Each structure stands twice: as structure tokens, then as C-alpha cells.
Amino acid sequence: METKDGDEYLLTLGIAENFLTNADTANLSKFISLDDDAAECLSKYKGDLNLDGLTCLSDASAESLRKHDWDLKLNGLKSISDATAESLSKHKWEVYLNGLTSLSEKAAECLSNRTRGRLWLCGLTSLSPAVAEKLRTHAGSGLFFQALKSISDVVAESLSKYKGSGLYFRGLTRISDHAIDSLSKHDGGISLGLTSITDGAAERLSEHKGRLWLNNLKTCSDAAAESLSRHEGWLQLNGLTSISDKAAESLSNHRGMLLLNGLRCLSDIGAERLRKQKGILELIDWLLFQTLQWIASASIAGLSCSTV
């Protein structure tokens, strides 16, 4: 197989055999192409395989690698054939395909047949209704679409029927209230990249029954906080650096796990209200900030922090 600069970036059978004997002999992620017999050899490796440098993968190599029993990283691939997708669907552990920028309906259908593990498609920048409809039948434990900036109402409706444990859209910054209404019906976790949220969207998400990650939110109105407080389960709002006393009072009524680890500005009244939170509360940044303020005050007062 021809590669740039001769065979320097070709992963051969000899390199694969040496790797099996001593995994420290080669950094497999530097190779951009793979011999089919090397793929067969690597399928026997008892450990995670990082082949992120590969820019192409033959159907024969994919068929061999699907027998590998550990995590498989193929994040350098920009596209895969339907036959390769069919082979990779039979791989038993995690398969990372975060470099894919497009996916055919057939490939999506094949990958959806994976029976375990998560499906990492963090390079897709668009998702058609047809592909979404195929992926929603994925039998594994999670779908990751971190590069998507927006999704249509039709796509949201399809993915809301996904039976896995989570839908992850951490790059999603634009979504209609109707699409949020659909996603809120998903039985697993939902991760959204929204930096702001409308009161209507918060109201719809309050009805979601699974984990909810909204870690990119920079602002949250009092009305939105009141709605989100009714959400049942794990709620992450780690992007918020400040909240009003009214929002703190509302969030104190949340009965699940509440994470506000980005919070730095909180009044004494707000802190007292959050202290009464009915679930489990995590405030790492705020507690650290308070500790540093106390240390600084002690230092200015000429006190020894070790004896105060």
C-alpha cells in the first residue's frame, strides 16, 4: 500500500508482530495505512488499540479488527465503506470513529446493530433524518454527536426514541423548543451544549426523567431555575458562575444530584438557601473560592492559617 515518504507510515506485519511481543516497541497511532495481514495480527492484541493515525481502512482489515476484544480507536478515518461499517458493528467493545464527517444510511444501519458499548461519532457536523432514524435503533449504551451545532425537529423526534443510556450533544448550541420537547421524552441521559436557555425550554426539560447535562449554560433566569428544580435525577449546571438568590431558592427544591461546580458568585442568602437542598449538592469551585478568600483574609490579618 503506497504511503507518503515510502513505507515509513505503513503499519506492516513485522511491526504488528513486534508490537504484540512488546507494546512499547511502536506508537501505532503514527501510521496512516495498515497492511491486511498486520490487521489480522493486531486483532489478537490483549489491550486497547490506538490506530488514530489511519486515514484509510480496507474492508479486509476491518473484518480482522472486529475480532479484537478491547477498545478500538480509529479517529483518523474521515469515511468508511458500508462493508467496513458492517464489520465494525460486530466489534464487542468501544469503537471510536470521531473523525467521520459523513455517514451513509447503510453504514448507519450497520453500526446501529452494535450490541454493546457506546458509539462515538463526534466528527459529524450534520445528521440527516434518514441516518438519525437508523442510529436510533443502536443497541449499545450511548450515542455521541459532539460536533453537531444544531439538529432539526425531525432528527430530534427520531433520536428521542433511542433506547440506550444517553444522547450526547455537547456542541449543540441551537435547538428549537419543539426539538427539546422531543428529546425530553428520551429515557436516558441528555447532554446539550446550550449557552443559554429559554424559559420554555427549561420547562420542557423539567419533565425529562434521566440525567441532564447543561454544563455550557452561562446564564439561567429565575423562571428557568424554577422549572429545572422540578427535574428528577442528576442535574449538571457546571457552567454557571453566579445565580440569583431566587434561583438558589428554587434549585434548593431539586431532589436529585445537583452539580454547580462552576459557581463562584453566591450571596450569603443564596448559600443558605442552597444549603437546604433536598438532594445531593456539589459546589467545588465555590467552596474552593471561599477557602482561598479565607486564607487571604487570614494572611492579611497576620494569622497563621495552620493555627486559625
For the stretch 80-111, pLDDT in tens is: 999 999 999 999 899 999 999 999 999 999 99
For residue 299, with 0-12 CB atoms within 10 Å meaning exposed, 13-18 middle and 19 or more buried, which class applies? exposed
pLDDT at 199 over 70: yes
Q: What is the pLDDT of residue 278?
A: 77
Cell of 176: 428549537
**Which residue, 173, 268, 269, is CA-closest to 216?**
173
Give the tens place of pLDDT for each residue, 238-262. Answer: 999 999 999 999 999 998 899 999 9
Percent of the chain with pLDDT over 70: 90
Q: What is the pLDDT of residue 288?
A: 54
**Interior/surface letters 97-115, b for 16+ CB within 10 angstroms, e for the rest:** bbbbeebbeebbbbbbebe
Contact predicate 187/211, CB 8 Å: no
Find where cell 450515542 sits.
Answer: 143
Contact predicate 167/190, CB 8 Å: yes
Cell of 271: 448559600
Find where cell 439538529 sits.
Answer: 151
Find where cell 458493528 sits.
Answer: 89
CA distance 117 to 172: 23
Contact predicate 179/200, CB 8 Å: no
Q: Which residues pair with 224 in a beta bridge?
A: none
Question: Where do the structural domains in the chain lie, given as residue ranges?
Answer: 200-308
